[in-house]
Structure 1
Amino acid sequence: MFEDCVFRDRAAYFPAEETLVLADVHLGKDRASSVELPLGEREDVLERLGALLSEFEPEEVVVAGDLLHSFDHLPYGVEESLRAFERRVAEAGARLVVTRGNHDTMLDSLLDGTVSTHRVGEVLACHGHERAGSAEGYVLGHVHPAITIEGRKRPCYLLGPAAGGGRALVLPAFTRLAAGVDVSRAEALRSPLLGPPGAFRPVVRDEDGDETLEFPPLSELRAYL
């Protein structure tokens, strides 16, 4: 189900469906943060999104929730960032699909056609903060998984059992302003769609070395961390 997935820069590409999936973009987080990326949030997101679009040339781009960051207002510049995000996808000839996350309470005022879930072949894309329909697999965000290896905290993907059966792929937060939640000692994963954390295998993408590193399940890996 996820065997053919290609992991790149906190996103996942499904070749058979020609679909790129990312989650937790959190546009506007820089306004709520004391630390800002050197290029600024918008430039960083658009540059990285553009690189993914150029590499994979997808027919569809799915944001699995939390495209926005603020719950109750739209910070200055967020609408412009969202429009630039839309344009970048459209200019690449792809269709944009956005599933609503728990942070996206203001999203419907800016974007038409958002959905709660979206099918990507056998897999159901959703944010993961609430229960979703039955599926053989789920691709979701919300958890912001990360893992500390040799003293360095890295964003990671998680592969493991869905709570009601089937399998799940958890994406790291696409925004680099999210610190990430270290799952190496987690007693639970904060999604009703996910089974026990010990059964999940972390996958770490080393962009500098152009390697995708797959690790044993957390229940086995914890002894070495």
Structure 2
Amino acid sequence: MEFIGKTLLIEEEGLRVLAVGDLHLGFADAARRAGKHVPMDLLGDMLSDLEHVFARVGKVNTVLLLGDVKHVFGRILPSEREEFTRLIGFLEKWCENIVVVRGNHDVLLEFMGVETVASYRFGEVCFVHGDKAVEGIDDAKVWVMGHGHPAVVLKDDVKEEKFSCFLDGDSEGRRVIVVPSFSPASVGSDPREFSLGLAWDFDLPRFLVRIVGDEGVVREMGMLKDL
């Protein structure tokens, strides 16, 4: 298992799965419609980040999108369709299969012709979105999820800075990994200050924190409670 930028690479018996957290395609368009200004080509930034990831790992068997692929509830923006098409066209160059785990923002993906699953099993690892409990996953030794957009604020006497991060810990005998949002629109939420809204009551203060720094470098920082 390897932490690469904001993604997680898992290899088993010669097969490789790359897990990618919440993308929120269409976010920039939705923000503009609401009168807010954000960079319009967030997807371009994400594709550039993915390009760096694949430059390191090469082609994989499966890219697994961990839910909240689209952003807007209740309707489908043209930009969401366009960005999804761009994303899939890019990913198909780097993988054999693309699996979409259904997130709480993704209720209308089926109307875009996108097949989704509630969970995905790869050996002893089960991938879910994280917003609600899913049946049939309790026997998995590892849970990997998104949804929470974890981040941590690190500070010293001079400054403070927030970093997207992975949370990695144990819960009831299994390993749990919470993957950061892949979208550059928001760094995320610090679980010491805000609930991540996960379906399970994990002991997050005892989870290991891995921050994602400049150029996608991942650094282990110790337990959340000690930061």
Normalising by the residue count of structure 2, what TM-score does the alignment of the two structures yield?
Answer: 0.86
Look up the match of 1:112.
114
Offset of 1:8 from its aligned partner? Answer: 2.1
Say whether 1:218 aligns with 2:224: yes
CA RMSD, 1 decimal: 1.9
Look up the match of 2:153.
148
Say whether 1:62 aligns with 2:58: no
Look up the match of 2:2.
6
**Percent identity, aligned pairs only?**
26
Which one has a larger percent strand, Structure 1 or Structure 2? 2
* Aligned AA (1:168): V
Taking structure 1 as reference, are residues 171 and 35 closer, same or farther at Cα in structure 2, changes over 3 Å only? farther
Q: 1:1-225 to 2 correspondence within 5 Å?
A: 5-16=1-12, 17-33=15-31, 34-37=36-39, 40-56=41-57, 57-132=59-134, 133-134=137-138, 135-150=140-155, 151-162=160-171, 164-186=172-194, 188-208=195-215, 211-221=217-227
* Aligned AA (2:170): P
Segments of 4+ moved more than 3 angstroms:
none
Offset of 1:194 from its aligned partner? Answer: 4.7
| 1:168-188 CA distance string (max 9 Å, x none) | 1001100010241112345x5
Q: Is the 8 A contact 2:163 2:187 kept in 1?
A: no
Q: In the aligned structure 2, how far is the partner of 1:158 from the partner of 1:27?
A: 24
Structure 1 residues not aligned, in runs of 5+: none
Offset of 1:211 from its aligned partner? Answer: 4.0
Taking structure 1 as reference, are residues 23 and 212 closer, same or farther at Cα in structure 2, changes over 3 Å only? closer
Q: Is the 8 A contact 1:159 1:169 kept in 2?
A: yes
Taking structure 1 as reference, are residues 148 and 61 closer, same or farther at Cα in structure 2, changes over 3 Å only? same
| 1:90-145 CA distance string (max 9 Å, x none) | 12243100000000011111133311100122110110001122121111000000
Normalising by the residue count of structure 1, what TM-score does the alignment of the two structures yield?
Answer: 0.87
> Number of residues paired by the alignment?
213
Q: In the aligned structure 1, how far is the partner of 2:149 from the partner of 2:72?
A: 16
Q: In the aligned structure 1, how far is the partner of 2:201 from the partner of 2:178?
A: 9
Q: Is the 8 A contact 1:50 1:88 kept in 2?
A: no
| 1:163-210 CA distance string (max 9 Å, x none) | x54111001100010241112345x542123512211111012234x6
Q: In the aligned structure 2, how far is the partner of 1:111 from the partner of 1:55?
A: 31
- Secondary structure in structure 2 of the residue aligned to 1:60: strand
